[in-house]
Amino acid sequence: MKREEQSVTALVRDGADLIFIRQYREPVGATVIQLPGGGVEEGETLEAACRRELSEETGLTCGRLIYLGSLYAASWLCNEITHVFYSDEVIRQGVQTLMAHEEEIEIIRVPVTESLDAIRDGRIRDSELCCAVLQALLRGLIP
């Protein structure tokens, strides 16, 4: 079996809001609303990678992270597997520490109900974000 490329994303709920990022994605030529996340580094656990990416991209520190499972973003194209975590325990809002290629990551807070509306009407159409929301809905973590 092939070794998969591992990445992590975090669906964070802070009270009534979900926390997303907005960034320009060159391959699609558009600004896309997504979850904070990124690649797992050598020797890093999935949860540690998730906390690191969350901190770098949003400045957030969370308490308990709940593992929601994994997904194939594009199994017909790449060997990437994305692990999805959820937290509703925002402990601290620090500052972003972005890498050079992440210079333009905007943090947005979207109420849960508006997030679902935005998915339904296509303003949000990122696969990882939608998969994470589905997992959270199926577990009753978001109303």
The residues binding a second copy (CB under 8 A) are 1-2, 4, 25, 27-30, 32, 34, 69-81, 116, 119-122, 125-128, 130-131, 133-135, 137-139
Alpha-carbon span 8 to 24, nearest angstrom: 19
CB of 71 to a second copy, least distance (A): 5
Alpha-carbon span 80 to 6, nearest angstrom: 6
Alpha-carbon span 77 to 96, nearest angstrom: 31
CB of 64 to a second copy, least distance (A): 19
CB of 77 to a second copy, least distance (A): 6
Q: Which lies closer to a second copy via its Cβ, residue 39 or residue 94?
A: 39
Q: Which lies closer to a second copy via its Cβ, residue 32 or residue 107?
A: 32
Q: Which lies closer to a second copy via its Cβ, residue 45 or residue 79?
A: 79
CB of 48 to a second copy, least distance (A): 21
- Which long-range contacts does 133-142 make (Cβ < 8 Å, 24+ apart)? 133/11, 133/18, 135/11, 135/68, 135/69, 135/84, 135/86, 136/11, 136/13, 136/68, 136/86, 139/68, 141/13, 141/66, 141/86, 141/88, 142/13, 142/18, 142/112
Q: Which lies closer to a second copy via its Cβ, residue 38 or residue 59?
A: 38
